[in-house]
Chains A and B, each alone.
Chain A
Amino acid sequence: MSERILVLGATSGIAEATCRVWARQGASLVLVGRSGEKLAAVAGDLKARGAKFVETLVCDLDETSRHPQLIADAVNALGGLDVAYLAHGIMGDQQQSEESFDAAAQVIYTNFLSPVSLCTLLSNYFVKQGRGVLAVISSVAGERGRKSNYVYGSSKAGLSAFLDGLRNRVDRLGVTVLTIKPGPVKTAMTMGMKGSEKFADVDKVAATIVAAIRAKKDVLYVPGIWAIIMFVIRHIPESIFKKLNL
């Protein structure tokens, strides 16, 4: 059976790579993003690669009031829903966020509140249906606040905690909640950043995500080494941690 998948933030590098894996497997996809032009480019590529069905919906996901209609439209287009994949988010600018609450609030809105709205609606849909997978991209940055990006990190920490709780509620009702915690990934966004040569390959990350969704995993660190790195970082005593430059 071809999977019916809703992708939120489909023009992000990781989401696009993941969609290519699904397309090759003949999945049906509804892609949501802010730019119709970019969505069309992604959709055309996925069709050529073998996706059974692709439709695009233009929406700024900060507009939480539009979420119910958006999900209804997606379900309608796909004739049902098996997987919802949330991949939208912004890095923000840490410096700006330190200087202005508005900048910080924007990061938290896009990375935390908007997914909370979507996850609430989608998990309730899946609960009613008695099955479904909700896969959400959080980040290893949410494991411990660091001075270099604690606003972004805290938005992801909030999201991860929310997903833990949601999983605890809906798992027994047949719904899978997968929290994806990628380390730095090589995408157009990160190109030219310091050390980006060593970042993870986006196609490998995508293949791992697809496999984890299929295996109904709970939490995925990708690449796996980040589970160990973050275990260590979480256990550094605060008295030492606060002096570190991370």
Chain B
Amino acid sequence: MTGTPPFEPWGRYPKYNATVVPLQWQSDFPAIVSRNGGMHNGALAVGMGRSYGDVCLLKDGNLMVTTGMNRILEWNPETGILKAEAGMTLAQILDFCVPHGYFLPVTPGTKYVTLGGAIANDIHGKNHHVAGTFGCHVPEFELVRSDGTKLICSPTENPDWYAATIGGMGLTGVMTWAKLKMKPIVSRKIDYEGIQFHGVDEFLALTEASKNVEYTVSWIDCSSTGKNFARGVFMQGDHTRNPGELKPSPEPKLVFPIEAPSFMLNSASVAAFNTVFFHKQMKKRVTALQDYEPFFYPLDKVLKWNRMYGSSGLLQFQYAIPWEHAREGTIAILNEVAKSGLASFLAVLKAFGDVPSPGMLSFPQPGITLALDFPIKPGKSFPLFDRLASMTLEFGGKLYPAKDARMTAAQYQTSYPQWQQFLKYKDPLLSSSFWERVTREA
């Protein structure tokens, strides 16, 4: 979310005008609603705007930015349970908790997201196969509705509201605070191992063999065909068991300064990047003792790296395909991408485990997930996206709303059949451009 309208999400597409309404205190919502004459055109709470597409946008509406609500309410160093306001970022949580010997139970690929945003998208990390989603570690939160009703939600108190709000994309109300159960660590270091692989079957074998490793994820080269098709690097790690330093990793210093000209992102440069990345790791296997920062947040080092894609932006495409069709679906989609000649710098492959998500509309489910980044070139990337989306659905899969700006209403409603049941919990004032798009007449 940038400071001046029009607002753009992390992918910089789409861009819409909206009014900014900061939420600084827990009592601000819904007091602000009545003060602003009911907030015509609706409202939406947003965090850091780190969603790629339009789940964090509301065209011509009111975006209630929560980042000023970032206070710690309670901290229990014995249980590791943190109670904080929903606008606190994971970066701020790490800065506070790492010195106490605690780490986030689940973290996405950037630490610049808020607690509220993480719950609302029920995000997943590299440890989904053992830890489930972010929501699995949220024992309780407060939900405030636009009519002023306050609900304490937990698996036992208002459990239906709890389920609707985790993964509920900010549509059930505003979360003012949440509890998060942190994970004990003895050092900020990670025991890391990187393994080269060729093809989806090798990836699956490595996944099977590392079931008990906490964090696993793969980078995959989706620009190569032939004998290099689906080559990649399988990356795994555990918090080291050897006691060490418990200071937060230092903050990144680089800011991507300018908007890159789009020629920097043609398929030749991506192919070159992929080759370099693959061979950067010279050996078949490497091990290292790493700080958590480069292990979890390699991209945060280049703040605002989304500018690399120029002002037309980028879009991620992320699917989850259930095990039944996961292998064939992944191969078919990777083939389609390689064939298209459109380049994706950051292709990330991971197996989701079977820890159930507490959320009604959560994205993760057992199977394979693949995330691809594409610069937006209308007329070129959109047709590919649309093909990939329909293929995903044919394989029984679904797309990730946090990364989406293209899914059709029919696609959403088919792959998220619970949306009907969810309607009961939607707050009448709140909406998003995503929601308006996918709930239009199918």
Contact = CB atoms under 8 A, between A and B. Distances in A.
A191 B68 contact: yes
Interface in A1-60: 13, 37-38, 41-42, 44-45, 48-49
Contact of A49 (B2, B22, B23, B96): B96
Interface in A173-206: 186-189, 191-199
B71 interface: yes
B205 to A, nearest CB: 46
A199 B3 CA distance: 10
Contacts of B323: none
Contacts of B74: 44, 48
Contacts of A193: 3
A38 B68 contact: no
Contact of A192 (B20, B72, B75, B96): B20
A197 B68 contact: no
A49 B100 CA distance: 11
A41 B22 contact: no
Interface residues of B, number: 22
Contact of A196 (B3, B19, B85): B3
Interface string B365-397: 000000000000000000000000000000000
Given A37-B27, A49-B96, A191 B3 contact: yes
A205 to B, nearest CB: 15
B256 interface: no
B273 interface: no
A41 B19 contact: no
Contact of B22 (A37, A45, A188, A197): A188
A197 B71 contact: no
Given A38-B25, A196-B4, A45 B71 contact: yes
B20 A191 contact: yes
A45 B3 contact: no
B249 interface: no
Interface residues of A, number: 22
B272 interface: no
Interface in A154-190: 186-189
B24 interface: yes
A188 B68 contact: yes
A42 B71 contact: yes
A41 B67 CA distance: 15
Nearest to B177: A41
B68 A13 contact: yes
B73 interface: yes
A141 to B, nearest CB: 20
B4 A41 contact: no
A191 B25 CA distance: 14
Contact of A194 (B4, B22, B65): B4
Nearest to B74: A48
B26 interface: yes
B19 A192 contact: yes
Contacts of B65: 191-192
A195 B3 contact: yes
Instruction: Name the residue in B22, B71, B85 with the highest tally of chain A Cβ atoms < 10 Å from its Cβ.
Output: B71
Interface in B1-49: 2-4, 19-27
B32 to A, nearest CB: 12
A25 B72 CA distance: 17
Contacts of A187: 68
A196 B20 CA distance: 12
Contacts of B4: 192, 194-197
A189 B65 CA distance: 11
Nearest to A45: B71
Contacts of B71: 41-42, 44-45
Contacts of A198: 3
Nearest to B65: A191
A192 B22 contact: yes
A48 B3 contact: no
A195 B3 CA distance: 7
A21 to B, nearest CB: 12
Contacts of B3: 186, 191-193, 195-199
A41 B26 contact: yes
A48 B73 CA distance: 7
Interface in B42-76: 65, 67-68, 71-75
Given A191-B3, A192-B3, A194-B4, A49 B19 contact: no
A41 B25 contact: yes
Contacts of A194: 4
Contacts of B72: 44-45, 48-49
Nearest to B66: A188
Contacts of B23: 188
Contacts of B2: 197
A10 to B, nearest CB: 13
Nearest to B28: A188
A37 B26 CA distance: 10
Nearest to A16: B71
Contacts of B26: 41
Instruction: Name the residue in B3, B72, B74 with the highest tally of chain A Cβ atoms < 10 Å from its Cβ.
Output: B3
A193 B96 CA distance: 30
Contacts of A41: 25-26, 71, 73, 85
B73 A45 contact: yes
Contacts of A199: 3
Nearest to A192: B20
A102 B74 CA distance: 43
**CB-CB nearest 3 A-B residue pairs:** A192-B20, A188-B68, A45-B71
Interface of B: 2-4, 19-27, 65, 67-68, 71-75, 85, 96
8 contacts: A41-B25, A48-B74, A48-B96, A49-B72, A49-B96, A188-B24, A191-B22, A195-B4
Given A42-B71, A48-B73, A48-B75, 14 more contacts: A13-B24, A41-B73, A41-B85, A44-B74, A48-B74, A187-B68, A188-B23, A188-B67, A191-B3, A192-B3, A192-B4, A195-B3, A197-B2, A198-B3
